[in-house]
Amino acid sequence: MFIDGRKVDNGTVIETDLAIIGAGAAGITIARELAGSGISVALIESGGFDFDAATQDLYEGESVGVDYPLTSSRLRYFGGSTNHWGGWCRPLEPIDFEKRDWVPYSGWPVTREELNPFYDRARDICQIKSGAFDDPAAWQAGGTPMPLAGSEVETRFFLYSPPTRFGQVYRSAIKQAKNITCYLNSNVMEIVPAANGTQVAHLDVGTLSGVRFTIKPKSCVLACGGIENARMLLVSNSVMKTGLGNENDVVGRFFMEHPHVGSPASFVVTDKDFVASWYRTYTKMRTQAGTVMIRGCLMFSPDYLRRTESLGTVITFAPASPVMAEPEAPVAGASDEEKAKAAKAAARDAGLRNVLQLARGTNSRATPSDEIGWRFGVGCATEQAPDPASRITLSDQKDALGLPRTRLDWHLKKSDADNLRGNLMAVARAFGGWGEGRVQLLFPERDAWTEAEGWGNHHLGTTRMGSDPKLSVADGDCRVHGMSNLFIAGSSLYPTGATVNPTLTIVALAVRLSDHLKRRFAQSASAAPVQ
């Protein structure tokens, strides 16, 4: 059932077993997993069924570090950011969950092996029709992987969700579930704990139209996304002055993204016959059955990451273009800007042309019009080391509900840039040793990395999970340290960022939390005194 919060009577008190704050991928998944159970669920969503500018404005805030948009990457209506996600899916690698000595603050309280059965269920929820993330038989009809030299760089695969728009695909299931009530256009203004701060007492809920009401849950899940989860804990400060779960000043820290660099390198092959086959492998393609979308990419072996003490990177490819024996001259009447661009391209490719001439294995001089190689554009998304200085705090600015807006201070470190360049050099070694490929590095050495060249719109780590309350906000069951009935869902739980898109893992963790909540409510019911 759906209820418009604007039509709830002022001062209404609603009691429920479980309150879920946020109806995005995590919140909708948890609600669906509990549908038909004996657990009453209040699913609370700030927006309605469609985009609304006034509601979206609640996401506005300050970006005081690396310039970062706080609204364009998030959507504040039913379905959340799944209303515009791209559908790229891949589980995190086993090494991502490990405590890595060379990565401070690393280590998850759950292993990839423990999460595998939940990944299987998450794949179904995301409507992915195959589990063959690394099965060559699933993609051989589409193309051929590059025969890279050595064992540092590997071809791995993303599978695609349609992409699933959770707010559309699962709307009817939420509506029909007799134990679920979804309150739309309803903003949780504070999670109010009991006087001792150890459990949630109630939620103060308000609408932009001025309605105020209360929800009293037995347990509560905060599922508002990688940025808003932290903000919500921080604004819930009427009893605990530093916010909920923030006794050790960890809430909001360790914000991570996946910095994207659009042209960190160029990949060049010398044999045109290779281009079509390999290009199909590393772009979106269908499997033999024609029902699964899959895309190859380059990633790095665990042995390489351990040996070089590196963080991961995902390398993707863009369309190919020919490299001519001589640079193309500017057209007659070209502007000074066009001439400068042509000169820059010629200087960039001067050394590359010499290499390609040698690779052709001929003593004859190529004519200016000869194609001597074919260039693929390269893009990448890279892992950041966790940094407590990258953080969410509260702004002095207020939103339309009177709540402090978000203040984001995101940092990129020289070590992040050095790591990326090192990984690109490993790719160059793999191509160079193969013999038919060359890599031209374009990502410069840097004294500092102060600007993002792009990002994945992946918000990670601000309420990280772990066993030590001094370094984490939630435990291995996603329960906020020191609070008996407050849980967190979503990418804010990530202790480390890994390299791949987070939605599949968000859903897997949400399914895992759902199972935990079912057991918890069952145990509570069995322990209740007989009336």
Q: Name the DSSP class of 49.
A: S
Q: What's the confidence (pLDDT) of residue 336? A: 82
pLDDT tens readout for residues 183-237 = 999 999 999 999 999 999 999 999 999 999 999 999 999 999 999 999 999 999 9
Lowest mean pLDDT among 126-130, 380-384, 407-411, 466-470: 126-130
Distance CA 92, CA 31 (A): 24
Question: Does the pLDDT at position 319 exceed 90?
Answer: no
* Cis peptide upstream of residue 444 (ω within 30 degrees of 0): no
pLDDT tens readout for residues 450-459 = 888 888 899 9
Question: Does the pLDDT at position 358 exceed 60?
Answer: no
| DSSP per-residue codes, 117-143 | HHHHHHHHHTT-----TT-GGGTTTT-
Q: 531 falls in which pLDDT band (50, 70, 90)?
A: very low
Q: What's the confidence (pLDDT) of residue 368? A: 61
Tokens 């209303």, located at residue: 83
CATH assignment of 1-126+164-258+386-412+457-531? 3.50.50.60
Tokens found for residue 59: 């996401």
pTM, full prediction: 0.92
CA angle centred on 283, ends 352 and 304, rounded to 5°: 65
Find the mean pLDDT for residues 157-173: 94
First-to-last alpha carbon distance for the chain, in angstroms, is 30
Find the mean pLDDT for residues 372-378: 78
Q: What's the confidence (pLDDT) of residue 452? A: 83
Distance CA 434, CA 421 (A): 20
Per domain, the residue ranges of the chain are 1-126+164-258+386-412+457-531, 131-160+260-383+413-450
Decide which of 443 and 22 is more confident. Answer: 22
| DSSP per-residue codes, 412-477 | --HHHHHHHHHHHHHHHHHHHHHSSEEEEE-S---S---S-S---S--B-TT-B-S-TTT-SB-TT
Find the mean pLDDT for residues 155-182: 95
Return the sign of the alpha-carbon dihedral for residues 120, 124, 130, 134: negative
pLDDT tens readout for residues 393-405 = 999 999 999 999 9
Q: What's the confidence (pLDDT) of residue 36? A: 94
pLDDT tens readout for residues 275-304 = 767 777 777 766 655 567 888 899 999 999
Q: 48 falls in which pLDDT band (50, 70, 90)?
A: very high
Q: What is the mean pLDDT of the chain?
A: 90
Tokens found for residue 196: 């001792």
Distance CA 102, CA 114 (A): 24
